[in-house]
Copies of this chain bind each other. A is one copy, B any other.
């Protein structure tokens, strides 16, 4: 049985609270069970140097974790003087995923920076980040429309992310930490509301898994992401 009697096809209790930051143009506190990520979207009227004059905008992301977001304390990356490989990998994934859901030309020559900071971690921090960051990004885009800086939202797709994995031989949706650390395979999906693929990353832990298992993981992810997209829409309404 899963922790908290969860069914293998069920998400954890998820809450998405938009507009939590006093200063940011867009924000969302994204909670997937015990995983809590604060996502903010900051509009910057400067684009990176290599984009200047292109007439196009840019979306990028940074990811961090508070030192005591986890069971035992992790050293602070700022104190160590560099971001770890895992951090770099995750923030590149977040940025790439969101850029696939926005029309950078419609955004105009400006940049939106998404900061995803994990307050508390219990598995699935990267997917909770992407799901919350999309809300923050949407809110920031709406604000640009309100301010008359652009005429319509550049968001092209409703999308969210979720992890799946194979635990005790069973394909499960939205792993929490205790499951994740015992999984035979672990996969992260970024899909549109209707199941279009934006990004898939799947890894076997010790033993390869089959294409049939991969298909089942994909089915679970599509189910979960459809639900998440509804919650995102709710969060943006209120």
Contact = CB atoms under 8 A, between A and B. Distances in A.
Interface of A: 21-24, 27, 34, 38, 40, 42, 44, 62, 64, 66-73, 76-79, 81-83, 85-89, 91-92, 96, 100, 113, 115, 117, 119-120, 157, 159, 185, 191-192, 195-211, 213-214, 218
How many copies of this chain?
6
B209 A203 contact: no
Given A78-B77, A82-B81, A42 B71 contact: no
Q: Which of A27, A38, A44, A202 is the most central at the interface, judged by chain B CB atoms within 10 Å of its CB?
A: A202
Contacts of A191: 208
Contact of A64 (B78, B86, B195, B196): B78
Contacts of A201: 200-202
Given A21-B120, A62-B76, A92-B89, A197 B192 contact: no
Label chain A's interface by main secondary structure: mixed
Contact of A67 (B72, B96, B115, B120): B115
A82 B79 CA distance: 7
A200 B200 contact: yes
A67 B40 CA distance: 9
Contact of A100 (B44, B76, B204, B218): B204
Contacts of A40: 66-68
A75 to B, nearest CB: 9
A9 to B, nearest CB: 18
A68 B38 CA distance: 10
A73 B218 contact: no
A159 B207 CA distance: 12
Contacts of A77: 78
